[in-house]
Chain A
């Protein structure tokens, strides 16, 4: 912005002629005495400075706060996805002297004493009082042909509150499931006889937690005991009964006790959780000592694992977030610089007078500092408070780690100090001969700085290609800062280069629009006449829009790629693992397709293990995630004819030679005939090894030693019907396949958060740009009152004037938007391939164009243009034409 030729309007008005010179009295007091008073006399200057400082402090402080919130948020999210006990400090009896996790039993007689010792050790460690859970499997005396041989007895305070009781509570004894009660004719008051001859009274009946044996949906309370309750894989579990502790200990000589100190990791910070996980480690040695080595406990690893994962997420974010934070602070510094420039403009008469009296740059810098510091301090504190409120309300978590507010205050203070240095520099520059700098500025502007930026971007691009943009530490995705440095450098360099190139075309544009209407004519001349302002506006638009588009493109691409990987893993919207007989055909009646999966028991002849799936070509494409290529390929998968080779597809081979045959785990060998090769096929469960796809009938008559799971794949709308068909035929569904084994959404949190943060930065930069736009337009309009009044007199109506402003802004801001979006998409397109959050699993990433963000940012640009035009018109209309006749 050109400010040096600005005639301060305050001198012309109000104070009569030469108002600036009339304040000689104030000038006689030393600057440090007057300074704080002066800025308070000019509320607009104070406000502009305080606002700029607030934005600066907000940008600087939000980084540390955001980081402090991410670890905690990751902890809470992981805790919500785990069983409740995994987020507590858990202890169990160790099976070996080394007290590793090998779980063992405790003689029942030692339970009470051990419990007392554990409680006091936990209290000494500062943990909340633990609760005790005890489980044991007891064998029953044979009572009938279908009667259970064994049952699991479980005791935990309050457990009965989490089942549906079918009989009134009251007596002590064993609560049994309604399934067993009706099968065995048991009711409250009956007795169960253990193999050892102990009689246990039935105290009540509750509804079986796993319904009728199909697909358990257990309440969260029972999450940790789901295997005992529902069994796992093909192994059905013994009935799960609940007993009071006395009954349980009476029933068995050995028990498996666990203690859980309920620290509720879902509601505390990472350091608190870490403290608890460290504290609990002191309990086992204490117990060992107190029992004279008789009882050894081990600490459940879950809490430590949660803390470690949260720490990983946090440390994975530090690298990218800090640079974004600094970039945001630099953008905000521009705003502070602008506000300081405003101060110089408003102070121009006094500054000129001081300079003419020989006051040097250092004195002026001190004057600027003293005058501006109060506003910057007030604004800085407000911005810091704003950052706390902002991150609390829209950040990943509302809980900060202790110390985070202080750290963020330090960051805000450092940024404000940088802002004050800038202010001092600008103040000192005011002492300079205004014309002197012009030539230097022109030379600096002429140099192609953007090429240096582009070269740096290219360097980062090479680094991304060499090292990738992400890697995974214990499953948690760690994003390299290069994924942010590259687009920022490319955006800055690319947009500046585009602006320079567009600038070369301006004279031609000027000539071309000469014969056009007056609105276009004026708009184009305003752009070409002060090209510096136009370039600043275009860049100011391009950067935030570009950052938004880039962040959206990368997020959308990651989301899309991950969902493609998930789809590949699952094979179909729903993949149900069943207990159906291997060679049977499940009567699905058109509600799904049957798939046989050999995950571990097949090998290439003379080679490595491979995955195999057997499909039903008639129905496969309809119910699976099949593209036309897959659908075409499976048509060739006919059943093998009389011991001949089975037609097969060779998938995910990574160049491995196609096999001639398959050797199964029982050493039978079957030949295959490769009819097609594909990189990806639905149902691929292991990214590292190749997969053979054959007709399901190719598995017929294999020995029972070759383990092949029978899965039912189906779509959302057919799921209920498919389940009903399975139930009708008495086929149990064991589980639904879930992709979390190879990629959990928690693992992606760093990616999600980094790009959310980048978006917030873009929005901040956008707001700064809008403020700058309005400010620049307002300053220009004030300066151009007389030409506006004169052109109005010549016959340019308000409509034409407003139209010409809209055209000007549409051209400049529209160009900025286009340039930003184009460069951002270029940046995204050139590195998305290296942004693979799980490169071991196909398919590789694909680029998604963020249509919504493009549309939304475009609409935002239109709104800003219209608003800015309205503001400009309003300011122009307020001009008093009678001022024009006299000198401005």
Chain B
């Protein structure tokens, strides 16, 4: 296969490199499991640029989640450097606000006692923007086909609906960078497309996305595919790597 070209002719590569959102170099992470050592990340170099939708592919256990954890500051790498630049310049990952770095973890982390709508509006509520972002919230719910679930509790919805709720929550404040771990794992093809199209729309406005997904159907929505294997990151889809 060919390397994914930048679609719809946006900025050229050099500009992107200069104004990248996040740049990691030589990131390594090792877990100790008894006597055994698990090299979850081996000298990973990664860049995500504004306006870019990047897929992070790779088999289960290859280190995708570990990389996302390192990028959002929940885990510290043993070696290597991590720097946010552009809109997020000079900040530690852990200090970034939701509008700058939004997350869709695999565990979702919806608040059980809040309705679907309240969960989606939560980031706006915390920063006091419920009123101004209400339309945005409704629009996302409409697009994600969960508008009718607004008053239900997460436990009263399906896993796929909860996942869409979680993505909507992450996108509500139009984050500069969004890290998502398998956000379409429980979606059918059509809904997966809706999710990626919505992300694409936001990427057009300058947002950057790094999305761990091992579903090849979704790669087509992305500007680039990175593949992870045994802690090593390569440019390109896994098919090429193998």
Contact = CB atoms under 8 A, between A and B. Distances in A.
Interface in A788-845: 789-791, 793-796
Nearest to A5: B155
B107 A530 contact: no
A759 interface: no
B194 to A, nearest CB: 23
A885 interface: yes
Contacts of A881: 69, 74
Interface stretch (A178-186, A207-215, A448-456, A518-526): A518-526
Interface string B54-98: 000000000001001100101100000000000000000000011
Interface in A773-790: 784, 786-787, 789-790
B107 A883 contact: yes
B126 A885 contact: no
A787 B169 CA distance: 12
B69 A795 contact: no
Interface residues of B, number: 29
Interface in B97-126: 97-98, 103, 105-114, 118, 122-123, 125-126
A786 B105 contact: yes
A884 B109 contact: yes
A795 B126 contact: yes
A786 B109 contact: yes
Contact of B98 (A786, A789, A794, A883): A794
Interface in A130-160: none
A878 interface: no
Contact of B126 (A518, A886, A887): A518
Interface in B145-199: 153, 155, 181
B241 interface: no
Contact of B111 (A528, A787, A793, A887): A787
Interface residues of A, number: 28
B6 interface: no
Nearest to B179: A885
Given A526-B113, A881-B74, A885-B74, A790 B103 contact: yes
Contacts of A787: 109-112
Contacts of A627: none
B240 interface: no
Contact of B125 (A5, A521, A786): A521
B205 interface: no
B127 interface: yes
A666 interface: no
A882 B75 contact: yes
Interface in B5-35: 33
A793 B97 CA distance: 7
Given A529-B153, A795-B98, A885-B74, A790 B109 contact: yes
A667 interface: no
**Chief secondary structure at chain B's binding surface:** loop
Interface string A866-888: 00000000000000011111111
A49 to B, nearest CB: 28
B181 A885 contact: yes
A801 to B, nearest CB: 12
A795 B65 CA distance: 22
A398 to B, nearest CB: 51
A876 to B, nearest CB: 13
B113 A884 contact: no
A518 B122 CA distance: 9
Contacts of B98: 793-795
Interface in A514-538: 518, 521-522, 525-526, 528-530
A381 B224 CA distance: 68
B106 A794 contact: no
Contacts of B105: 786, 790, 884-886
Given A790-B103, A790-B105, A885 B112 contact: no
Contacts of B97: 795
B74 A525 contact: no
Contacts of B127: 795
Contacts of A888: 107
Interface in A1-35: 5, 16
Nearest to A788: B109
B125 A518 contact: yes
A526 B65 CA distance: 30
Nearest to B173: A794
Residue picked from A5, A526, A887, A888, most chain B C-beta under 10 Å: A887
A790 B104 CA distance: 9
Contacts of B33: 16
Residue picked from A784, A786, A787, A795, most chain B C-beta under 10 Å: A787
B65 A886 contact: yes
Interface of A: 5, 16, 518, 521-522, 525-526, 528-530, 784, 786-787, 789-791, 793-796, 881-888
24 contacts: A16-B33, A518-B125, A521-B125, A522-B111, A522-B113, A525-B114, A529-B114, A529-B153, A787-B110, A787-B111, A790-B105, A791-B111, A793-B103, A794-B98, A794-B122, A794-B126, A882-B74, A884-B107, A885-B68, A885-B72, A885-B107, A886-B65, A886-B105, A887-B106
Given A529-B153, A794-B98, A887-B106, 19 more contacts: A522-B113, A784-B111, A786-B107, A786-B108, A787-B110, A787-B112, A790-B105, A791-B122, A793-B98, A795-B98, A795-B127, A882-B69, A882-B74, A884-B105, A884-B106, A884-B107, A885-B68, A885-B181, A888-B107
Interface of B: 33, 65, 68-69, 72, 74-75, 97-98, 103, 105-114, 118, 122-123, 125-127, 153, 155, 181
Q: Which 7 A-B pairs have the closest CB atoms?
A: A529-B113, A790-B109, A786-B109, A786-B107, A881-B74, A525-B113, A885-B105
